[in-house]
Amino acid sequence: MFTRLQHLLQSTSGWVIKWRQNYRFSAASAYHTYLYRMANLKFRADVLFTGRELRDDQSVLVLDDDKKVVDIIALADAGDDVQYHPGWLLPGLINCHCHLELSHLHKLVPEQTGLVDFVMTVMKQRHFPEAEIQQASEAAEQQMLRQGIVAVGDICNTAHTLPVKQAGRMQYRNFVEVSGFVPQTAAMRFQQAEAVYNQFAQAGMEQQTAIVPHAPYSVSGALFGLINAHSAGKRITMHNQETLAEERFFVDGQSDFRRLYTGFGIDISFYQAPGKSSLQACLPLLNQTGGIVLVHNTFTSEADIAFALQTGEPVYWALCPNANRYIENRMPPVPMLLKNEVNIVLGTDSLASNHQLSILSEIQTISRHYPEVPLHTMLQWATLNGAQALGLDALLGSFDPGKQPGVVNITGVENNVLQANAAVQRIV
């Protein structure tokens, strides 16, 4: 008798537990279906790129009233008011390298002069009225917004762009750049950069701002030390191996950069080439920072990549192909970077070295030169990778629930290849 009763209780208990589980599942499903159907914004396209993967045209992106991602669901569960956009939908684009404060130099610097003459021309033309610089910076930001860009890693030698950034139209990481190759000037140069940094900090942007080196060929060991200490734990950036002259300057010292310093009246007779690549010479001097975004990398080698990865800190390799072509008519070694599975991100550089500030245009240039690179791979560089490089991936870069990455529509894609008429539009 006891055994039969025990069996009955166990059977009943199991049925009750199963009923409760099914009830909870059904109730949760009904609640989420209600949320999806009542959500403020629902989007679908021919292809939905999440920041990580491709989804088909039966996938619907759901956002709430605050433009936060709720989920990606099946079209059959989405209800009414689903907005359809021909082409591809993806998260907002990330520009990991820009010089917004040089926007006033658009079309004033000749193309394909080589880096040394480009730098000399820019330095001679920087002194414009601040109001004109700010006006050009605001116009450049508007151009980026129209091009679907939602965040920028911006190089700052001054605080001229501060009013533009205070408007809050997009996210910024401010990299206050400092240079000074003569060791005796390190303290003075750093104080000048610190004064710019303090202006951003006083405007409430200290967490989004770091002091960074310009490039290996323009920063002394003493100045690297000051930067390293001040930016401890912070993500920084640096122009890297942009020209063959940089490598020659560090390997054997016979370089066009000597003409650069002579042109500015700077005595570098003290300098002795270390006999190694610029990256291998200077990266150990930045051992306290929280990772680095290396920009251009046109002459980076596999040995340099292996050296950088040994540091154990996050390293991102920013490509700005349109600027490389504008200045030296070169392209970065994309196949080699892909072979070594590094973290690639994209930038535009400045309007002094580019015809526009468009990440889509950078992708088109890479596609023309390296058609074997899949479009979705480059889009991940431009979205999730870029957000991670700038430390903004909790908010941007992918369609993960809770994020506010924006929504961008790309048209002019056939068989997963960008066509000449490809265009980008910001939807959210």
pLDDT at 13 over 70: no
DSSP 8-state secondary structure symbol assigned to residue 204: I
**pLDDT level of residue 125 (50, 70, 90 thresholds):** confident
Q: Tell me: the pLDDT tens digits for 297-309?
A: 999 999 999 999 9
pTM for the full predicted model: 0.91
Pairing of strands 407-414, 83-91: antiparallel
pLDDT at residue number 40: 83
Q: Among 314, 289, 139, which Cα is nearest to 225's?
A: 289
Enumerate residues 6+ apart whose C-beta is below 8 A from 30.
Answer: none
**DSSP SS3 for 289:** strand
Would you tell me how many other CB atoms lie within 10 Å of the CB of residue 267?
A: 9
Give the domain ranges of the chain: 1-30, 93-396
Q: Residue 46: which H helix or E strand, with range?
A: strand 41-49
Distance CA 257, CA 261 (A): 6
pLDDT of residue 124: 81
Which of the pair, 5 or 272, is modelled with greater confidence? 272
Q: In CATH, which superfamily holds the domain spanning 93-396?
A: Metal-dependent hydrolases (3.20.20.140)
How many whole angstroms separate alpha carbon 191 and alpha carbon 308? 29
In the sheet that 93-98 helps form, which strands lie side by side, from edge to edge? Answer: 93-98, 149-156, 171-178, 209-213
pLDDT at 426: 96
Q: Using CA atoms in the order 272, 276, 278, 280, what is the torsion angle rounded to 10 degrees?
A: -130
Are 293 and 97 spatial neighbours (Cβ–Cβ below 8 Å)? yes
Residue 23 has which token pair? Answer: 């009830």
Give me the long-range contacts of 187-193 (CB less than 8 A, separation at least 24).
187/222, 187/226, 189/223, 190/223, 190/226, 190/227, 190/230
- Tell me the pLDDT tens digit for each residue of 40-58: 899 999 999 999 999 999 9
